[in-house]
RNA sequence: GUGCUCGUAGCUCAGUUGGUUAGAGCGUCGGUUUGUGGAACCGAAGGUCGUGGGUUCAAGACCCAUCGGGCACC
């Protein structure tokens, strides 16, 4: 498929690396481009706290601020306040939470999430949703969160429409609604119907890949596959294992984002042909002169950085190793996407 | 040569008036990571306590000798 955004076209399926604080950790904007990805993610929650959307707007918006020319999708902050569950309070109005660094109280609502994302200058935005875990405590809240996510979606959409009504179509960002419902097929189906009944530009599937057995996620993706609106892109939030990507693409998913390629990279883990993982800090690579994956076309492999060199850099704590392997891992996922486009 | 001082894990060091199976940090080795509070975390291996005697129910610790390092003095 092809997604038209105000910053350019995005071919799907596509993988988006997470540039949570405005940068994919350890990479320059052009290094990110060099991996062949079509779009990157940035985060409402983090950028709102620091440096703040007003500062970024004053510095020309996300593209100017981060020097990234690729289309940028901002996440809504819903997942972040979920992962900060210890210090948050959910009300119908929104989520109250404390800045983990300063202790300051903050309130994120569907309306403020839309305002922040627009101020940041996002090309694609996500509606503010209520995310739950899939453990026993989370399960007791699944239905409540599912219902609230829909009410919040209507508020997100209303605020989005209010703020963008005077924009030309070519300047207007795209808005994704989020499907919730935990591991309940009944709720998921209903949630998908609600989201697709509204004039959102894309469908995001949230609340999966949060620790449930892989089988459960696969089953849900297979179940949802025939029900997607084919005219709109389908975005599976938070998925980034190669095998998961393949399965999801085969079940009609168009977009992914995940911290895994970059987090793994910083910790010395690289994917190689066959979706296998290697731990570059292992002693067996001390004298290994081969690139991470001889069949890979990423710049790290093409320029010949050896496993032995990378191991050394990891062992002495140089951040270059994490950057070089991030380029490789992102490229690995991007190649999976490209293979499916052929 | 004399005096003082120090020798405990690969490294740097804890180790109570002598009291279970001698600990830590770092390093080494292995693993975990799914809409980034994490360049984070979890686990494992690794020691005849310089050596040899002695005292004691019991010694890393006390005594003697010896080897090695450091410092001071002659």
The two structure tokens encoding residue A262? 């970059």
Contact flag, residue A273 CB and nucleic strand B, below 7 A: no
Q: Pick the closest to residue A123 from A176, A87, A77 (CA basis).
A: A176
CB neighbours (10 Å) of residue A90?
18
Position A82 scores a pLDDT of 83
CB of A202 lies under 7 Å from some atom of strand B: no
pLDDT of residue A235: 97
* Nucleotide lying nearest to A257, CA to C1' measure: B35
Chain B nucleotides with an atom closer than 7 Å to a protein C-beta: 27-41
Measured CA to CA, the distance from residue A66 to residue A63 in angstroms comes to 5
pLDDT at position A110 is 96
This model's pTM is above 0.95: no
pLDDT of residue A99: 82
A74 touches strand B (CB under 7 A): no
Coil, strand or helix at A98: strand
Catalytic residue among A18, A75, A130, A254: A75
Given the structure tokens 């979706």, which residue do they identify?
A275
Structure tokens at A5: 């955004």
What pLDDT score does A54 carry? 94
In this prediction, residue A188 carries a pLDDT of 97
Asked whether strand B has any atom less than 7 Å from the CB of A255, the reply is no
Give, in Å, how far the C1' of B19 lies from the CA of A193: 73
Q: Which of A123, A130, A244, A257 is catalytic?
A: A257
Helix and strand tally (H, E) in chain A?
15, 15
Instruction: Please spell the DSSP secondary structure of A178-240, one letter per residue.
Output: EE--TT-HHHHHHHHHHHHHS--SEEEE-S-SSSS-HHHHHHHHHHHGGGS-TTS-EEETT--
What's the Å distance between residue A196 CA and nucleotide B1 C1'? 97
Please return the burial class of A100, using the count of CB atoms within 10 Å of its CB with bins 0-12, 13-18 and 19+: exposed
Nucleotide nearest to A98 (CA to C1'): B37
CA–C1' A335–B17 (A)? 70
Query: Is A257 in the active site?
Result: yes
Give the pLDDT score at A85.
Answer: 59
Per the structure, the residues numbered 120 to 159 in protein chain A that have their CB within 7 angstroms of any atom of strand B are: 126, 129, 131
Residues 157-186 (A) near nucleic chain B, CB < 7 A:
178
Distance A238 CA to B33 C1' (A): 13
pLDDT in single tens digits along all 342 residues of chain A: 999 999 999 999 999 999 999 999 999 999 999 999 999 999 999 999 999 999 999 999 999 999 999 999 999 999 988 886 567 888 999 998 888 778 888 899 999 999 999 999 999 999 999 998 888 778 888 999 999 999 999 999 999 999 999 999 999 999 999 999 999 999 999 999 999 999 999 999 999 998 888 899 999 999 999 999 999 999 999 999 999 999 999 999 999 999 999 999 999 999 999 999 999 988 788 888 999 999 999 999 999 999 999 998 888 888 899 999 999 999 999 999 999 998
Structure tokens at A85: 């569950």
Q: Strand B: which of residues 293-332 in chain A lie with Cβ below 7 A? A: 315, 317, 319, 322
Angle at A286 between CA A280 and CA A288, to 5 degrees: 85
* A24/B11 CA-to-C1' distance in Å: 36
Indicate yes or no: strand B within 7 A of the C-beta of A240: yes
Give the pLDDT of residue A285.
87
HSE-CB for A241 with a 13 A CA cutoff:
12
Question: Which pair of structure tokens corresponds to residue A142?
Answer: 């699944």
Residue A260: which nucleotide is closest by CA–C1'? Answer: B34
Euclidean distance between CA atoms A129 and A112, whole angstroms: 13
């Amino acid at each position: 498929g092809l997604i038209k955004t105000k910053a350019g076209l995005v071919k799907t399926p596509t993988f988006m690396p997470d540039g949570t604080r405005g940068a994919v950790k350890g990479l320059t904007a052009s290094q990110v481009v060099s991996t062949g990805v079509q779009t990157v993610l940035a985060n409402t929650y983090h950028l709102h706290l620091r440096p703040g959307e007003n500062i970024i707007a004053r510095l020309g918006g996300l593209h100017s601020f981060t020097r990234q020319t690729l289309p940028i999708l901002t996440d809504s902050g819903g997942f972040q306040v979920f992962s900060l569950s210890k210090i948050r309070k959910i009300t119908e109005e929104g989520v109250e939470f404390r800045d983990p660094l300063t202790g300051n109280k903050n309130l994120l609502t569907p309306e403020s999430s839309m305002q922040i994302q627009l101020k940041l200058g996002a090309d694609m935005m996500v509606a503010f949703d209520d995310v739950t875990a899939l453990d026993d405590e989370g399960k007791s809240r699944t239905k409540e969160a599912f219902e609230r996510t829909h009410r919040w979606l209507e508020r997100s959409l209303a605020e989005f429409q209010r703020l963008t009504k005077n924009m030309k179509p070519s300047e207007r960002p795209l808005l994704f609604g989020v499907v919730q419902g935990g591991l309940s097929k009944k709720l998921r189906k209903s949630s998908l119907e609600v989201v697709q009944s509204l004039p959102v530009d894309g469908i995001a599937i949230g609340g999966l890949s949060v620790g449930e057995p892989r089988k459960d996620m696969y089953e849900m993706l297979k179940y949802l596959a025939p029900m997607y609106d084919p005219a709109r892109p389908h975005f599976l939030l938070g998925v980034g294992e190669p095998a998961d990507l393949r399965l999801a693409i085969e079940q009609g998913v168009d977009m992914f984002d995940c911290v895994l390629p970059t987090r793994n990279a910083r910790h010395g883990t690289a994917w190689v042909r066959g979706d296998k993982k290697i731990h570059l800090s292992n002693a067996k690579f001390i004298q290994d002169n081969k690139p991470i994956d001889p069949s890979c076309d990423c710049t790290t492999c093409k320029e010949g950085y050896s496993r032995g060199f990378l191991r050394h850099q990891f062992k002495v704590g140089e951040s270059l190793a994490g950057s070089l392997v991030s380029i490789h891992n992102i490229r690995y996922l991007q190649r999976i996407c490209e293979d499916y486009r052929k």
